[in-house]
């Protein structure tokens, strides 16, 4: 049976959100996107939302403490009981360790980490294009370059983390949406 507790890993702009949505449709399990949850908090205009907006606009990471608390809450909701697609979480080794502990306490395991392999220069171009289309406030050149640096320094080590745990599959993320979706489907089989 295809894996149902899935993590999509890759730099900003690699297509995680698009591919997560494909998996939602195909597997009928929820997408858990910390970026989407934080943007919702910003839109709601809460005190936490204001703090999050400043961090997100700079391209830095929200603190592990906040991220882990939000994900703990989300992963224990009923609809995540039969599987989930993590998109944008974990992003640091500390978050990955916290996730392991959380899943342990729920009696389940992460079954597959799909790492989308893309080239950095192409990604920056993709993000600049998305900035024009979606007008996200964290999609300007300075923030994009910072987000790539943050990815390399803090998130990329997770590739080795999940390889060591035997759940890593690398998928070429440079093709069209359908080709990448096909690669992911094969990786999860």
Q: 120 φ, ψ to 5°?
A: -55, -45
| Residue 48 structure tokens | 């936490």
Residue 61, interface with ligand AMP (CB under 6 A)?
Answer: yes
- Catalytic (active site) residue 165: no
Residue 35, interface with ligand AMP (CB under 6 A)?
Answer: yes
* Minimum CB–partner distance for residue 95 and ligand AMP (Å): 6
- Catalytic (active site) residue 126: no
Residue 183, interface with ligand AMP (CB under 6 A)?
Answer: no
- Catalytic (active site) residue 74: no
What are the helix (H) ranges across 5-63? Answer: 16-27, 34-44, 47-58
Q: Which of 4, 72, 126, 130 is catalytic?
A: 130
Among 41, 67, 118, 180, binds ligand AMP (CB under 6 A): 67
114 forms beta bridges with: 8, 169
| Residue 181 structure tokens | 């979706």
- Catalytic (active site) residue 156: no
Residue 159, interface with ligand AMP (CB under 6 A)?
Answer: no
Looking at residue 63, the DSSP 8-state letter turns out to be: P
State which of positions 113-142 bind ligand AMP (CB under 6 A).
138
User: How many C-beta atoms surround the C-beta of residue 14 within 10 A?
Assistant: 23
CA distance 169 to 116: 9
Residue 162, interface with ligand AMP (CB under 6 A)?
Answer: no
Helix or strand run (H / E) with residue 115: strand 112-117
Contacting positions for ligand AMP (CB under 6 A):
12, 34-35, 38, 55-56, 59, 61-62, 67, 88-91, 95, 138, 147
Q: Catalytic residues, which ones?
A: 16, 91, 130, 136, 147
């Amino acid at each position: 049976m295809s894996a149902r507790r899935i993590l999509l890993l890759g730099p900003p702009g690699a297509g995680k959100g698009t591919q997560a949505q494909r998996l939602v449709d195909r597997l009928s399990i929820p997408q858990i996107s910390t970026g989407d949850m934080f943007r919702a908090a910003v839109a709601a205009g809460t005190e936490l939302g204001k703090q999050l907006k400043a961090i997100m606009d700079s391209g830095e990471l929200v603190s592990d403490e906040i991220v882990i608390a939000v994900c703990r809450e989300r992963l224990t909701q009923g609809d995540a009981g039969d599987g989930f697609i993590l998109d944008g979480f974990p992003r640091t080794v500390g978050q990955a360790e916290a996730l392991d502990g959380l899943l342990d306490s729920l009696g389940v395991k992460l079954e597959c980490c799909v790492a989308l392999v893309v080239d950095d220069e192409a990604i920056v171009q993709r993000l600049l294009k998305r900035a024009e289309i979606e007008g996200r406030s964290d999609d300007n050149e300075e923030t994009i370059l910072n987000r790539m640096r943050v990815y390399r320094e803090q998130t990329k080590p997770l590739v080795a983390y999940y390889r060591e745990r035997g759940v890593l599959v690398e998928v070429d993320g440079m093709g069209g949406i359908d080709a990448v979706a096909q690669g992911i489907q094969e990786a999860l089989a």
